[in-house]
Amino acid sequence: DAGVTQSPTHLIKTRGQQVTLRCSPKSGHDTVSWYQQALGQGPQFIFQYYEEEERQRGNFPDRFSGHQFPNYSSELNVNALLLGDSALYLCASSLRRASYGYTFGSGTRLTVV
Amino acid sequence: AQTVTQSQPEMSVQEAETVTLSCTYDTSESDYYLFWYKQPPSRQMILVIRQEAYKQQNATENRFSVNFQKAAKSFSLKISDSQLGDAAMYFCASAANNAGNMLTFGGGTRLMVKP
């Protein structure tokens, strides 16, 4: 039973560039949520996708956007990267947006230089 | 809106001993869940234990148990018979029991286990 898969595991980008992170949810899950975890802090909610639409959004600028595909996988895009975007980006999947059953991936470590 | 506070940045415990991690939260919701997650160096958030707010009985999972004080909005985690593999960051989190509600995390507690 495949868990949540994220790619790439590590990434280094230059300020101003754009980046795309990918997430495949746990088998049987249809909802994907993205979190940003800065070094030494707890994760912060970015947004959630269900039925290929953004359903909820946290306090993040429009530079952060996403997409969900028919197979439930998801992408997180960040434009015009800032040094402050350096963080661990976690993907969590669940079934029908249930808040009690999230499964997390191991994250993508993004470093902006 | 929900907030979660963990007041202990670091805790240390001797192997085989018991340790308690503290968490307080605030929410305007009447129906919600509380969670403890473990994040080892592998970075994956692993669910340790979950508590439904409407349940008065404290949740237990093997060596892990919680002390849920709803009126005080307190949700502490007790780890009994600590093992070296318990060393990790521990995050307390809450989520309203409405469709799509996200997890709100505390700042974390780093647990060190001494052999």
Which member of B4, B96, B102 has the closest CB to residue A33? B102
Q: Report yes or no: A5 and A23 within 8 Å, Cβ to Cβ.
A: yes
Q: What residues of A are in contact with residue B108 (Cβ under 8 Å)?
A: 40-42
pLDDT in tens, A38-58: 999 999 999 999 999 999 999
Size of interface A-B (CB pairs under 8 A): 67
Residues of A with CB under 8 A from a CB of B: 31, 33, 35, 40-45, 48, 50, 55-56, 58, 88, 90, 92, 96-100, 102, 104-107, 109
pLDDT in tens, B11-46: 999 999 999 999 999 998 888 999 999 999 889 999
CB contact under 8 A, B44 and A104: yes
Q: How far is B48 from chain A (nearest CA, A)?
A: 12
pLDDT in tens, B88-112: 999 999 998 876 678 999 999 999 9
Whether the per-residue pLDDT at A1 is higher than 70: the answer is no
* Rounded-to-integer distance, Cα A64 and Cα A19, Å: 10
CA dihedral for B81, B86, B91, B96, sign (positive or negative): negative
Q: What is the DSSP letter of B6?
A: -
Report the pLDDT value the prediction gives residue B97, as an integer from 0 to 100.
81
* Rounded-to-integer distance, Cα A55 and Cα A69, Å: 14
* Complete DSSP assignment for chain A: ----EEE-SEEEE-TT--EEEEEEPPTT--EEEEEEE-TTS--EEEEEEETTEEEEE-S--TTEEEEE-TTS-EEEEE-S--GGG-EEEEEEEESTT-SS--EE---EEEEE-
pLDDT in tens, B43-92: 999 999 999 999 989 999 999 999 999 999 999 999 999 999 999 999 99
